[in-house]
Amino acid sequence: MSSRELADFLRRRREGLRPEDVPAEAALPPSRRARRTPGLRREEVAALAQVSASYYERLERARAPRPSPQVLSALARALRLTEAERDHLARLAGQVLPAENDGAPERVPEEAQRLLGRLDGIPAYIVNDRQDIVAWNAAAAALITDFSRLTPDERNLTRLSRRFRDTLCTGAPGSEADFSRQVAAELRAARVRYPADNVLAELINEFAAHDPDFASSWRHHAVRPVPCVRKNLRHPTLGELEIDRHVLGLPGSGFSLVMYTAEAGSPSDSALKSL
């Protein structure tokens, strides 16, 4: 990734950190200037990370050499980054090597296939880094659509979400925005892992052009995982359903398992079991 990506990430995380978010024991340096924005100043982040203010300013202007692992660790602490954001920062700075291949993996691990088959009655599917649905069980097909009738390009989660937004989703407050943030975080991480994947880049541009929530999350480097999103669905035979969408990363692979569940004992739970 370019130094501009690193600079933009640092700037946005600094602007999103308020003075009251800084622990009392890590006192901010005094300043006589009035605070015009809610975020921290560059010199404040530099002081918290114990680096020079001029060096940090050059980082945010994409004019500094790539920081060392020690500096990255200090910046992560100063900016109060989550584990996912720390990993993203390291990848942006070139401290984690990108994947050797230039695109999403194609073969689903056998153990993942077996796990999918054991989820009897639980709608579930497997997506790759591009959010392509590469495997699914019968319950998922019954809940959403017959994936076997779609082309590989149509089986992309971002494209399917647009296709079914008006017919399948009933618009639970915030659910679609949460879903867009969830997908943006997954694709942002994939983009760093596969910087040469042109198909992924085109998909990101396509989705950002149609979804303002995704575009906003992308601009703000949303990389914090959103493991569960509640959605209201309108099924043609089961009616209105309130379900939770869970995403579990499969260790050692570029795949994730997506499952749909409902609150135990609820009408939606009974409806899912009937699938």
- Give the pLDDT band of residue 173 (cuts 50, 70, 90): very low
Architecture of the domain whose range is 3-92: Orthogonal Bundle (1.10)
Residues present in the chain in total: 275
The predicted-structure confidence for 100-152, as pLDDT tens digits, reads as follows 455 555 678 888 888 898 887 899 999 988 889 999 999 999 998 899 999 98
Cα 7 from Cα 42, distance rounded (Å): 12
Please state, rounded to an integer, the average pLDDT across all residues of the chain: 83
Domain residue extents for the chain: 3-92, 110-274
The β-bridge partners of 204 are: none
- Cβ(232)–Cβ(197) below 8 Å: no
Residues 199-239: pLDDT tens digits? Answer: 888 889 988 888 888 898 888 887 776 778 888 888 888 88
Rounded to whole angstroms, how far apart are CA atoms 110 and 45? 46
pTM of the complete model: 0.65
- Does the pLDDT at position 41 exceed 70? yes
Q: How many CB atoms lie within 10 A of CB 28?
A: 14
Q: In what order do the strands lie in the sheet with 133-136?
A: 133-136, 124-127, 256-261, 239-249, 228-235
CA–CA separation, 268 and 135 (whole Å): 24
Percent of the chain's residues with pLDDT above 90: 29
CA distance 151 to 130: 15
Q: Comparing 9-18, 67-76, 93-102, which segment has the lowest mean pLDDT?
A: 93-102
Q: Determine the Cα–Cα distance for residues 231 and 176; give it in Å rounded to an integer.
A: 8
CATH fold label, 110-274: Beta-Lactamase (3.30.450)
pLDDT, mean of residues 64-75: 89
pLDDT in tens, 17-35: 888 888 766 667 666 666 7
